[in-house]
Structure 1
Amino acid sequence: MKKLLFFSFVILFMASCGSTQSNTEAKPSKKTLKGTWKVTNIRFVGEKGLYKANLFDMADSACFKESEWVFIPNNGSGKYTLPGGSQCEAVSTRIHWSFYEPGDGTYQFQFKYVDEKNKPIDAANRGYRSTIDSLEENTMTMRIETTYEGNEFDVVLTYTKVSEDFSL
């Protein structure tokens, strides 16, 4: 009976230590983000209506579909490339990124546009933040709060890891 009770306790303990924890509970790892990622899905969350969003003062949200993002964890450098298309200009821009903890139990991804020497391009040193909904080995979901014509909504970007390799 003691063995049964002991094994039941061990199984319960192991189940409670499982890796199903969301990243709002566990600090995201820069090493997990290392590599090249692609935006595979963009969706809008909010009341029904028309959604239009200019993301990161760069382009319409639709232009970010299939964009490629490179993250180098040891120095926080990276870049993203918009593929271009009939309504979108092809753009590649360097970024310097990090994680931010606002103190409410969530984690955010933040970045600034930089030049080839990783110096901020914006004279006011402004940057951008998005909430990390999930970050796993091969998928990531980030939420960007925005407004259009006075209506608040979120743009949710889903990323899929392409490879562990990276190059700027």
Structure 2
Amino acid sequence: MKNLTLLLLFFSLFGCGAKQAVSELPSKRTLKGTWELTDIKFIGEKGIYKAFLFDAADSACFKGSEWVFIPNNASGRFTTNASNSTCDILNYRIIWSFLEVGNNKSFQFKYADEKNRPQSKDKTGYRAEINELTAGNMIITLPSTYEGNSFDVVIKFEKKSDNINL
């Protein structure tokens, strides 16, 4: 019941006429469909960067991964790409949302079970700043650290279709 109340509150506040610009909280309908993670860049001091993204796999395994977003219940999934011998195909269900704190707009998600309940007992998840979100592209920035050095992982998605098959 609590989730239903929160969902109704969300739609009453943000469901009417939300624009696609990042200056406002994006509409969940913008993400509806199947997306491909097309590019990953590391921004920081010069050096070699390697990231284990979302506690799932090396960043190289995410390039070409498929992401499905279902806006009516804020669920979805992603499947990593086995592009080389070091990558396994991993499939994770997620629940996702947008968050606005001050001027920052974020995309966030948690791993979920088959009933769309968070898998983590402490209900932790992942949050990335939205740099761009249009009907065909999304670019997010995920702050990271390695051996005490901060850097950003910039992730680009391109929409492939409006299909939403889990």
Q: Assess same fold via TM > 0.5.
A: yes
CA displacement, residues 99-144 of structure 1 (integer Å, 9 cap, x when unaligned):
01122x1210011101111111111111110111000110110110
Greater Rg over alpha carbons, structure: 1
3-state SS of the aligned residue for 1:66? coil
Query: Matches of 2:98 and 2:117 in 1, distance apart?
Result: 18
Structure 2 partner of 1:154:
152
Check the 8 A contact 2:132/2:140 in 1, yes or no.
yes
- 4+ residue segments displaced more than 6 Å: none
Q: Which runs of 5+ in 1 are unaligned?
A: 1-18
Structure 1 partner of 2:58:
60
3-state SS of the aligned residue for 1:154? strand
Structure 1 residue 90: deviation in Å? Answer: 0.5
Letter in 2 for 1:90: I
The number of residue pairs the alignment matches comes to: 147
Letter in 2 for 1:128: Y
Of the three residues 132, 141, 144, the one matched with 2:142 is 144
3-state SS of the aligned residue for 1:36? strand
3-state SS of the aligned residue for 2:101? coil
Structure 1 residue 72: deviation in Å? Answer: 0.4
2:66 is equivalent to residue 73 of structure 1? no
Structure 2 partner of 1:47:
45
Structure 2 partner of 1:123:
121
RMSD: 1.3
TM-score by length of 1: 0.84
